[in-house]
């Protein structure tokens, strides 16, 4: 047995021991070699989770490699919502080209929103068995084909079918991203990087009409699909050569070691989990509805997302053209307010959220000698800050939109930006809290949160018009406040009160 093989076997044994300890919730015993390895690699032993003694463990990757893979999965996740919203500024042009009503043309967006909510239930078991990388590459390849089909579609039915295919395949990263982040980053930095992923998912909605408004006005709406296909092709090339597999198990170390050449490691697709695929496995994320520490933050987040993101994104292209006589390009520019607001909110929801938890944990260690762990519920205090921005932001948007004359003014967009900032805070805080409660189920948590958010976001636009028409924009803000308090504030209070017993 040569030296390198002996080191590999030792690392594999250490990895298996760590897996057993993680499953049993016990602190692992570290050999002198393992301690030396971690200190050399990370400069500390205060790591959670504790990585194995193997360079292939994603927790041991170099920062640049983690950053590249985070960028790939975050941008891929953005492309899911980006693709859904891409034609939002072109409903009039699509209706004229395909000889359908504008209302029917809008179904091409609603269809993708609904599919993005449910399709990850199909993809999660495959991502768990074969790894994240093969699923994401297949996702991009099929999405490319679907977008080309949309660009060449001669009829409404054909375009609807191709949009459905694209939505089904583009969605995995929008749900399994939480698991990818947990597989690469330590607990102390989890919120920051989950925040990057969630921010990209959020930005997909306003960014698409912001960009494609220019495209529709200059080269026609079908170029939206061609551009999406080109972006998918670029993603495939970059991810194929630079992307790495983040699903790591100690049992897979020998396979990784035997792939000596880099091209074999790039081309290799191997089943990483021998468990059979079952119907229960596909539906497992839905069973998380029985866990209050996942269900309640998901419901609270979905309600905030509905009004702070979906409502503003849907109503701007419907109200502003009639009120201000805007064209597609001008409508797209209005989304800049949502983009800026979301970016500001992520500063609080991501990096500051981790610092909030870190300072509190340090305070506990100084005052309590028993090493009591910091409860995840402490993070939820920041959720109130997000909701307190969403409520006035939505109210300002609705009230000022109703008061506006035929001359455009910026006040409704200020409200939309404030609401977007609050939405991003709640997004990052609530998803990170759910993942912290069940870190070993991070992917299933992401799939469940995505399912709740997209389902509620799909339903909302069907009752928005009737509410706004019958009640009025200003008066509707009262209904929205009541729903946010009942479905977002109250569940958060319940989690802080009883969450430690429900986990």
Does the structure show a pLDDT above 70 at 331? yes
Q: What is the pLDDT of residue 8?
A: 47
Q: How confident is the model at residue 378 (pLDDT cuts 50, 70, 90)?
A: confident
**For residue 418, what is the enclosing H or E element?**
helix 411-437
Sign of CA dihedral 500, 454, 459, 209: positive
pLDDT for 429-438, tens place per residue? 999 899 889 9
Tell me how far apart the alpha carbons of residues 217 and 352 are, in angstroms, rounded to a whole number: 40
Q: How confident is the model at residue 363 (pLDDT cuts 50, 70, 90)?
A: confident
Joined tokens for residue 457: 């976001």
Terminal-residue alpha carbon distance, the chain: 46
pLDDT for 243-262, tens place per residue? 888 888 755 555 555 454 44
**For residue 482, what is the enclosing H or E element?**
helix 473-484
Q: Which CATH class is domain 62-245+285-502?
A: mainly alpha
pTM > 0.85: no
Mean pLDDT of the chain: 85
220 backbone φψ class: left, alpha, beta (φ>0; ψ -120 to 50): left
pLDDT for 262-284, tens place per residue? 445 555 567 777 788 888 888 88
Joined tokens for residue 176: 């399994």
Q: Tell me which residue of 399, 198, 411, 384 sits closest to 309, measured CA to CA.
A: 198
Q: What is the pLDDT of residue 45?
A: 81
pLDDT for 311-325, tens place per residue? 888 888 878 888 888
Does the structure show a pLDDT above 50 at 24? no
Q: How confident is the model at residue 368 (pLDDT cuts 50, 70, 90)?
A: low
Which residue has better confidence, 356 or 259? 356
- The arithmetic mean of pLDDT across residues 213-219, rounded, is 87
- The arithmetic mean of pLDDT across residues 429-455, rounded, is 90
- The arithmetic mean of pLDDT across residues 362-384, rounded, is 76
Q: Tell me which residue of 202, 142, 201 sits closest to 166, measured CA to CA.
A: 142
């Amino acid at each position: 047995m040569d030296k390198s093989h002996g080191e590999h076997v030792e690392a594999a044994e250490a990895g298996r021991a760590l897996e057993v300890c993680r499953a049993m919730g016990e602190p692992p015993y570290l050999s002198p070699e393992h301690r030396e390895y971690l200190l050399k690699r990370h400069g500390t032993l205060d790591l959670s989770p504790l990585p194995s003694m193997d360079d292939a463990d994603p927790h041991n990757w170099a920062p640049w490699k983690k950053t590249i893979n985070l960028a790939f999965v975050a941008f891929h996740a953005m492309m899911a919502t980006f693709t859904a919203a891409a034609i939002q500024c072109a409903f009039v042009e699509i209706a004229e080209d395909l000889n359908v009503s504008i209302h029917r043309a809008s179904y091409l967006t609603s269809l993708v929103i609904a599919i993005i909510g449910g399709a990850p239930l199909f993809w999660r078991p495959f991502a768990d068995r074969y790894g994240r990388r093969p699923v994401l590459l297949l996702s991009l390849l099929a999405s490319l084909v679907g977008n080309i089909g949309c660009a060449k579609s001669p009829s409404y039915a054909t375009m609807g079918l191709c949009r459905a295919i694209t939505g089904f395949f583009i969605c995995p990263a929008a749900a399994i991203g939480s698991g990818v982040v947990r597989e690469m980053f330590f607990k102390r930095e989890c919120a920051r990087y989950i925040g990057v992923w969630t921010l990209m998912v959020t930005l997909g909605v306003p960014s698409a009409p912001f960009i494609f408004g220019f495209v529709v006005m200059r080269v026609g709406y079908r170029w939206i699909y061609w551009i999406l296909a080109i972006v998918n092709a670029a993603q495939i090339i970059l991810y194929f050569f630079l992307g790495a597999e983040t699903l790591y198990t100690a049992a897979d170390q020998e396979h990784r070691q035997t792939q000596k050449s880099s091209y074999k490691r790039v081309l290799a697709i191997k089943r990483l989990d021998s468990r059979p695929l079952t119907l229960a496995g596909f539906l497992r994320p839905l069973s998380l509805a029985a866990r209050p520490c996942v269900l309640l933050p998901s419901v609270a987040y979905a309600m905030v997302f509905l009004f702070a993101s979906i409502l503003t994104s849907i109503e701007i292209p419907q109200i502003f053209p009639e009120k201000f006589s805007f064209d597609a390009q001008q409508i797209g520019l209005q989304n800049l307010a949502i983009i800026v607001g979301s970016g500001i909110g992520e500063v609080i929801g991501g990096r500051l959220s981790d610092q909030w938890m870190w300072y509190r944990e340090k305070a506990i260690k100084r005052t309590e000698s028993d090493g009591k762990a910091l409860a995840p519920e402490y993070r939820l205090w920041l959720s109130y800050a997000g909701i307190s921005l969403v409520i006035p932001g939505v109210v300002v948007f609705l009230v000022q939109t109703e008061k506006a004359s035929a001359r455009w003014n910026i006040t409704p967009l200020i409200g939309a930006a404030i609401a977007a900032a609050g939405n991003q805070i709640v997004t990052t805080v609530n998803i990170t809290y759910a993942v912290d409660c069940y870190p070993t189920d991070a992917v299933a948590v992401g799939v469940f949160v995505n399912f709740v958010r997209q389902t509620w976001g799909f339903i909302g636009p069907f009752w928005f018009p009737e509410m706004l028409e019958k009640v009025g924009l200003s008066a509707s803000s009262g209904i929205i406040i009541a729903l946010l308090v009942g479905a977002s504030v109250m569940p958060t209070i319940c989690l802080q009160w009883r969450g430690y017993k429900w986990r």
